[in-house]
Structure 1
């Protein structure tokens, strides 16, 4: 039967629509579904009424109304999850949770974080008056801090600084970049925050998080003493089971790490060697920037401890989301979602810190050479999420992922 054809009323058939336009993701998902003899359709109208349909696509292209009302529709996203995926909400969620659960693994796994709102550079001083704890830290000048726009991704708008004056200069430069974009009718890709850019766009210039910078990350001599973070894929199923996918990635900077230092002409601290987002390399993929975590040349017992810590932290994180901010994280029984969580390992004691949570993670940063990592992630997702939706009781034990949280929230809030 041809893909997209009008299908007869075959109630025994299993239907799926891969509406994603991501040329890295789409063929991998289609391969997994074909392995299980799933009938692929181009339109929901090609599916018999009352038949179950799985849809895999971008958030804006999914039928949200149907997701909320039709138990025969199973989609690849929750609707409300900004408690985790927006940086200032994430900080609030964790802060509230550890205030009630001080012995939680999250208490030591999230760097000191402050939320600030700045509309224009001239109002930074007022924002710091409202966040007096941050002002005191900056005036002491003993720590390095990282600034992140709350709603940006792929490393856009990230800056490193130590003092109030440096932070002021950062916001002034943001305004200069925005004014330049307005004057140019056709801004370049880099000015729009595209490939190779650390810039941000005007609409992101309000909510920011300021986070204590981990300036002594774990460095591995066998990998050129380059800074890296761990990308961990986390699968949430229904309402709710949370799984950590074991085949994690280590994403490296393409140059050796050095302690943050100011540029030669003074001013803002240099980002060279500090950022590990592979998307910042643009169309260039430097060799050795993406590795399987378990293939790193590092002590096996220490790698296992890191993975165990990541699992514990992840379980606590999603428990926080389901208990602290129920309005902004609402699991649905007929949905699943894959998140990309970023962790950093501290070089002093091998402790693990959670940095951020990404919805619709950029799978293609894995690259073609390691696309089997993502293929097996999707296979694991089929076994743990989609297979049960189709009513297949013969669920496989999937040793590619570890269950870290199970709660029954299907009855609502």
Structure 2
């Protein structure tokens, strides 16, 4: 690998490495690559040098090269916003996807438009509400106003047996890594959550300290006055569970990265390029809960059987992230009136159908952002971005005596997914994924074109699942 830099005036057509074999004098392409995670940075560096052998990589941005592939906070956006000859690895504005409350609003508006048009959409979201609150004493007013449907459901729970209650998940709109995620089934439990998030003191010097858990640890608490925006989602009933004998995990909830049983949650790795194309990586991972699934109950609920976020599964998640393809042969469990029953092993056809369904849901979510969230999602021709998308698999309504393709529900988009959580054992899958990003996004930018992928085509470890169009705008 050569470490070189280029002047800002270098032209795109002058740096294609394929031109060397044609006998033309060229300058090598230059890239700024910098991520807080050394694991992610090493994968990107290796992928770039493998696909573009003459690339000059710098990890310090002392100038602005044509390609910036870096953490959002480390990039310079000024050049790319005004000059299409610069390529960046993130859209400047994409909060319509990555902020939970904005994604909920965007997708809800989009689905309402689809119903008005009489169009059936593949996009599926948990039933939910957005809450703007600073202090716990504001909750009662919110329940009477914007959250009246939630209030009715919580009141109805009071008349139900514990195993028949409907549960809900609270998520801070701006938090990540499992911060502030809680589950509840009653108004009192919801109120207790917000009281937990109150500052421990009104003293000016102490008012910004994080709340602490009962054991004195900061844990996953947040300050409501700092977060303000929350999304509340229905806890999806009938999660798809698996009897996974590998590692002795039976009946765990699974989460898949796209990137949870024995409940299943998928983490999908999704690439959005230009204005716009959407690609789904075959590095689609399944995340397992670290403990067996049980129906949620009680005020002191353990989140580990229900939420497969790796930050919540601390100390439990090692070795329980698998590629979806490795699920072939695993025994699926379906919900029945008598409880969960075995419906047999899943096969390659089930995996292919689940992958295709996940791609359709994700493509529709990006379309929703482009059509209904344009203020908070401004796509650019000279940008690409990798997202980690969380999806939940649940067993469809109907007979529970055969393996059926699951319902796929969108949970959230995550910017700059921390692929290190997938584990070093999956490094080969991740390297193929990043090499595909280079071929799809960076190589064509440097003039090395191998033909655009068709919708539905598989190439370089990716499938093209969506394509749209928005107007370009360079100031």
TM-score normalised by the chain length of structure 1? 0.88
Verify the 8 A CA contact 2:276 2:469 in the aligned structure 1. yes
Q: Report the Cα offset of residue 347 of structure 1.
A: 3.0
Structure 1 residues 345-354 or 142-151, which shifts more?
345-354
Verify the 8 A CA contact 2:172 2:227 in the aligned structure 1. yes
Aligned Cα root-mean-square deviation (Å) = 2.8
Verify the 8 A CA contact 1:120 1:171 in the aligned structure 2. yes
Among candidates 125, 144, 165, match of residue 188 of structure 2: 165
Is 1:400–2:400 an aligned residue pair?
no
Cα separation, 1, equivalents of 2:137 and 2:201: 15
Q: Report the Cα offset of residue 288 of structure 1.
A: 3.3
Is 1:290–2:321 an aligned residue pair?
yes
Q: Report the Cα offset of residue 204 of structure 1.
A: 4.0
Secondary structure (helix, strand or coil) at the match of 1:337 reads: strand
- Taking a change above 3 Å as real, the CA distance of residues 83 and 237 of structure 1, as seen in their structure-2 partners, is same
Among candidates 360, 363, 371, match of residue 312 of structure 1: 360
Q: Report the Cα offset of residue 58 of structure 1.
A: 1.1
Secondary structure (helix, strand or coil) at the match of 2:93 reads: coil
Cα separation, 2, equivalents of 1:5 and 1:407: 35
Name the counterpart of 2:401. none
Secondary structure (helix, strand or coil) at the match of 2:266 reads: strand
Secondary structure (helix, strand or coil) at the match of 2:378 reads: coil
Which residues in structure 2 correspond to 1:73-92 (within 5 Å)? 73-92=86-105
Cα separation, 2, equivalents of 1:314 and 1:412: 25
Is 1:269–2:305 an aligned residue pair?
no
Secondary structure (helix, strand or coil) at the match of 1:156 reads: coil
Secondary structure (helix, strand or coil) at the match of 1:27 reads: helix
Secondary structure (helix, strand or coil) at the match of 2:466 reads: strand
Is 1:343–2:391 an aligned residue pair?
yes
Cα separation, 2, equivalents of 1:6 and 1:100: 48
Structure 1 residues 195-204 or 377-386, which shifts more?
195-204
Q: Report the Cα offset of residue 241 of structure 1.
A: 0.7
Q: Report the Cα offset of residue 42 of structure 1.
A: 4.3
Secondary structure (helix, strand or coil) at the match of 1:369 reads: helix
Verify the 8 A CA contact 1:129 1:135 in the aligned structure 2. yes
Cα separation, 2, equivalents of 1:257 and 1:354: 21
Which residues in structure 2 correspond to 1:13-412 (within 5 Å)? 13-35=28-50, 36-37=52-53, 38-43=55-60, 53-102=66-115, 103-106=119-122, 109-131=124-146, 132-141=148-157, 142-175=165-198, 183=206, 197-202=219-224, 204-222=226-244, 223-228=249-254, 229-262=265-298, 267-282=299-314, 284=315, 286-296=317-327, 297=330, 298-300=345-347, 301-349=349-397, 350-395=406-451, 398-412=459-473
User: Structure 1, unaligned stretches of length 5 or more?
Assistant: none
Secondary structure (helix, strand or coil) at the match of 1:226 reads: strand
Q: Report the Cα offset of residue 368 of structure 1.
A: 0.9
Cα separation, 2, equivalents of 1:57 and 1:120: 37
Q: Report the Cα offset of residue 44 of structure 1.
A: 5.4
- Taking a change above 3 Å as real, the CA distance of residues 45 and 210 of structure 1, as seen in their structure-2 partners, is closer
User: Structure 2, unaligned stretches of length 5 or more?
Assistant: 11-24, 158-164, 255-264, 331-344, 398-405, 454-458
TM-score normalised by the chain length of structure 2? 0.77
Per-residue CA deviation, residues 185-204 of structure 1 (Å, 9 max, x unaligned), is 9979x87xxx9932224554
Q: Report the Cα offset of residue 376 of structure 1.
A: 1.2
Verify the 8 A CA contact 1:3 1:42 in the aligned structure 2. no
Figure out how many residues of one structure are paired with residues of the other and give that number.
399
Verify the 8 A CA contact 1:231 1:250 in the aligned structure 2. yes
Cα separation, 1, equivalents of 2:439 and 2:72: 22
Give the strand-richer structure, 1 or 2.
Answer: 2
